[in-house]
Amino acid sequence: MRAYVPTGKAHTGQSPIEPHVVLAELPQPRLRPDEALIKVEAYSVNRGETFKLEEPGASWRPGKDVAGLVVQQAADGSGPEAGRRVVGHPMGAGWAEYAAVPTSALAELPDAVSSPQAAALPLAGLTALRLLRAAGPVGGRRILLTGASGGVGHYVTELAAAAGADLTAVTSSPERGARLRELGAATVVHDVADASGPYDLVLESTGGSALPVALSRLRRGGTLIWFGQASRTPVTLDFFDFFKGPESATLRHFHYMDFPESYADDLAALVRLVATGRLHPELGRVTDWADTADTLVDLRERRIRGNAVLTVS
């Protein structure tokens, strides 16, 4: 089969370091008893994967978001049968014609959900769903969301607004802000410093200088949940700043994998929301998988709004 693998090389030029992948011939995956073999029809690429490609490790292959067809059911009899359309969340190796996916990370797809839509769900959708679950009830609460123009941000905006939150989205451009308003954002600003608090909850994914500014917008006793580091810049906090506003505030770190719920159940919930028109994957780019390398660069350089999906021809 054909699959994308890291070259382990990067070059510097006028642009920042750009990770590289190459299409290679590999054997089909060897399945564990609880894994199904999926013929991949579409996969999504994530900005975090572009960073990991800089130092990929000896055996790592990218690809955590796939949609396609079960061609071999898991040997232990679990999960969807052969011939079923599915969305899956393997831990890697999904940028390929075939992928091995644990049945605990598979959900069946109805006809109403296309493979490109489904491929945009796993990492971004699971992160958004579980982030809001970690935040607790959001109805009637004022929320500040930084880094809102990516796939996670779009899902968080739509889900939180549907639950009754008053959400302020921080995004880089008016065009991206217009779409977030359509999804339910009450307010859009282009710099976190322009956000008018106080907020009950801050969902922060930028890091660097943005996190202390976002923290200062919290009400007394509010909560900031840190779930990303898009700026790749370390955060410096002066804890005396708490006395200037967000006294008794709570800071939490979040990672979507730190939850007992199964991926399969949460993927099924996301699929159901899409199928019933209550969640809309933001497909910023859908193109043939031959364009994977160029798409990685554009995603890293923030030239793609929402999710980038490659279809396997």
Nearby residues of 114 by Cβ (< 8 Å), 6 or more positions away:
none
Q: Please report the pLDDT score of residue 14 as a whole number.
A: 45
The residue among 148, 147, 90 whose CA lies nearest residue 119 is: 90
Strand partners, 287: 310
88-97: average pLDDT: 97
Give backbone dihedrals phi and psi of 147, rounded to 5 degrees, phi first: 60, 45
* Rounded-to-integer distance, Cα 220 and Cα 39, Å: 51
Q: Please report the pLDDT score of residue 62 as a whole number.
A: 95
Count of CB atoms situated within 10 Å of the CB of 194: 12
Strand partners, 187: 168
Q: Please report the pLDDT score of residue 12 as a whole number.
A: 45
- Percentage of the chain beyond pLDDT 90 is 76
- Asked if residue 145 lies in contact with residue 168, where contact means CB atoms within 8 angstroms, the answer is yes
Q: Where in the chain is the domain with CATH 3.90.180.10?
A: 2-121+281-311
* Rounded-to-integer distance, Cα 183 and Cα 191, Å: 19
Report the CATH superfamily, name and number, of domain 135-253: NAD(P)-binding Rossmann-like Domain (3.40.50.720)
* Rounded-to-integer distance, Cα 243 and Cα 205, Å: 23
> Band of the pLDDT at 118, cuts 50, 70, 90?
very high
Task: Supply 57's token pair.
Answer: 């490790």
Query: Hey, is 113 helix, strand or coil?
Result: coil
Q: Please report the pLDDT score of residue 281 as a whole number.
A: 97
In CATH, what number does 2-121+281-311 get? 3.90.180.10
- Say what the pTM is: 0.93
Q: Please report the pLDDT score of residue 10 as a whole number.
A: 55
- Answer whether residue 16 shows pLDDT above 60: no
- The DSSP line for 137-195 is --TT-EEEESSTTBHHHHHHHHHHHHTT-EEEEE-S-HHHHHHHHHTT-SEEESSGGG-
Q: Where in the chain is the domain with CATH 3.40.50.720?
A: 135-253
